[in-house]
A and B are shown apart, each in its own frame.
Chain A
Amino acid sequence: MDNEKDNKTQQTTIEPMDKQTPWAGVHIGEECSGAEILMRALYQEGTKTIFGYPGGNIMPVYDALYTYTRKPTPWFDHVLVRHEQGAAHAAEGYARVTGEVGVVIVTSGPGVTNTMTGVADAMMDSIPIVIIAGQVGVGALGSDAFQEVDLVNMAQPIAKWSYQIRRPEDVAWAVSHAFYIARSGRPGPVVLDFPKNAQIHKAKWLPGKADKVKSYIPYPKIDSKAIQEAAELINNAKKPFALVGHGVEIGDAQEELKQLLEKADIPAGLTMLGLSVLSTDYPLNKGMLGMHGRYGTNLKQQECDVLIAIGMRFSDRVTGCLDRYAKQAKIIHMDIDPSEIDKIVKTDVAVIGDCKESLSMLTKLLNKAEHKDWIASFEPLYEVEKREVIEPAIHPESGPLLMGEVVNAVAEAAPSDTVMVNDVGLNQMFSSRYFKFGHKRSVVSSGGLGTMGFGLPAAIGATFGTDRKVCLFTGDGGFQMCIEELGTIMEQQAPVKIILLNNNYLGNVRQWQDLMYDYHHSFTHMLNPSYDSIAKGYRIAYDIVLNRKELAEKVARMIATDGPYILECAVKEEENVEPMVTPGSSVDEMKLHLNI
């Protein structure tokens, strides 16, 4: 099939730029190399920071970057990571805190295969990133040339879009489409495969500006009938309950959500990725949903009469056993992605479209309501959880240091707008449960894919997207998966506060081994290196907390210190995260204590 022909048919609006003003010496319509066109296209898309790693088949692009990252008027910051996986996760972290597209440039073959975990991660969690990868020249494609890999096909199942730019004429078109597709609708990762000939050869620079792709509807038109039906269900509800996800953050609809919740007096549970949609202390925020979420918030899903899911996808970690999930309730599902409707949970009313608009439309049709008794019924369950689980986790009086108390100490010492990044495992569950959020776009976590190693590079990326404080909670397992990025921190002086919750275990798997595999700790115990020595090697400030007496003081010192910091916390080795909806259980069978 004919790519060039396709480009012409898909070419949409091109907004002419000022023809009198040369960009770095080149006027619109004048010839320059594909690599030079890429620089202009990235600049036009508003790219400020690029995370990358050079290599043979991307050298023409890096040669152009040499010019465009120089003072006095650099177009971009380039962050040299230490491994391409780190570049992809850093771009994710940047995208999450800014809402902008994270950009990665890497070489072909192993360079780009190393980014694939990040691509899959971004797809699962709807993160807009664009990966631009070198490739062998088109003449060598399919010949098993050095560092050649069939990238477009490899990326297709895990990316929102993947495309090979075979000619310099196509660069501006492809980049504008890549950014448009990555950031619009339900965001996601886009992979551009950029053969070397297209980087080197010249073409006329004609800026592209995509605002439409004929096969793609990023913002489906909202059906007003569905809004009416949803309003009717909510107006007649006695026990309405909202499940709020990351989609509200993506849609920047936090205020619209609050207006709806407050008008109809609806309590809300938050998914792990949606934890900063509402402030932790917001009265209608009833805390995290899911396997290790809030006790009452899980139980109440089985008691509500109308369940309103907003920008969430009914992950199996949220629903527990599907056969018994919320069968008593009418389900309203509001999502921008039609393929999410009825995928997991059968919906009574589907509202498809941008939640910023649909929430406003819905709120207008809602009656002012009060559900005092219903909302008050969450309280006794919270009190039980507080007494049985929360207080013992965050304010223990004896025994070894616990993860929950470290998280709580950091949450109390850090500014309320701090960005909380976590890795995967027990550190993720404890930090999600006990960190406090007071600002939107403050959660950076690998939700769907559960990528160990995500945390450190994602936190680095976050620091390039915000001036807010960035605190990373990581375990000893995940930390070592991308530990080479300490080099990036050192070089960039990225001010990540790393709270290393060291329990000498792959703790979450160990907990499951206790629960389901007769305490067989099959390769989950870890011999750890001296993190003090590692921190010294990378010239990063380091301290260790060995007991709770010194915790508050050392956390305060970390928060007050400028620049990067590693605070290792020697936590209890075999601590379990509770409560838990054990695999196969219904959410109302959540156990406060596992008794293992």
Chain B
Amino acid sequence: MATSLRARPRFRRAHRRDAKPDPTARRPRRFTRRDGAVLAASAIASGSIVWLLYERILPFAGIQGFLVLWFGTFLAMYGLAVRELEGTLIAKDRVAAAAIGGVSLAIIVPLLAILGYTAWRGAVYLRAHFFTETLEFTGPEDPATSGGGLQAIVGTLEQVGIAAMISVPLGVLTAVFLNEVGGRLRRPVRVFVDAMSGVPSIVAGLFIYIILVVRADWGFSGFAGALALTILMLPTVTRTSEVVLRLVPGGLREASLALGAPEWRTAWNVVLPTARLGIITAVILGMARVIGETAPLIVTTLGNTSLNANPFDGPQDALPLRSYLLFIQGVDNQVNRAWLYAFVLIMLVLILFVAARVLGARRVGGRGERRRTREPSLDPADGVVPVSPAS
């Protein structure tokens, strides 16, 4: 067997290359200087060919096409080069690694493009009075720096706050049910929570519009918007808290029960306090999920250019809603103002996101908990699905 393998030239060649310094061991994943040279040479050569093709032979507009074509040609060329030097097996491995690495790092490009573009379009119009004035007396011809966004900031904070006040107790209690109480209903409830997380945001808005705005004859109000946001926030809070509750060591629960505490005492005084940081993370993720929602607000809060601090009466504004309404007017100043609103909104989202990351990176349990061999992390990266995109 060994001789037949050694008789294959590709294996011998690959073997001999690394065998020089130490004849007994070959490190299978070592990336030598020569490998780097092959990689660089393939990149440069494919870039040149594509440039020639792209600029001279097949006229082509736009840089993404060039990059995509370059990446494809590079993979082909790199594969051929490695195949010539190392054999088919190694070539497949290298090409797969290059493709997977390239594609996943490329995701960062649109993210930076979006964040950068928003900052570039919006940040220049930000003035201090944005946080103290409203759009009440600002017309479409006024420059984007005039007026402010106080009415939208107040509306967004109130709507998201009310949504959190309803969905957090309900969501955490549902998570407690899934994790601590259980029973026959556990599986169906989990499926319902999953199904609810897929409810399109416009549908949640329509539902609240029917029951509150039309049937209850309440009219458009910030509260209606908050209820629509609650529907969207609830599944996020539930699933994130459930994952966190599952990380609470079973020994803590058993110790509490063995000491004679009833179940509700165990849940309230042992499980929830242990997981408090994670639950705060869940709440923040839920808020980040809904703070940028626009579609449900179109049909529930309607929008209002002047300040309405009462969420229970009359149309209210919100940052994403106002941004949308300004944007679709299409007038230059209004579009710029829409970007200003979007910039403030994305800053809020970023603050929430970073807060969730910082809190989530801490460990389960706080002071006084015994060290465990491997402490479970609350980091959403370790098992909690991220904030879903607004749908």
Q: Do A and B come from one complex?
A: no
Question: What residues of chain A have their CB less than 8 Å away from a CB belonging to chain B?
Answer: none
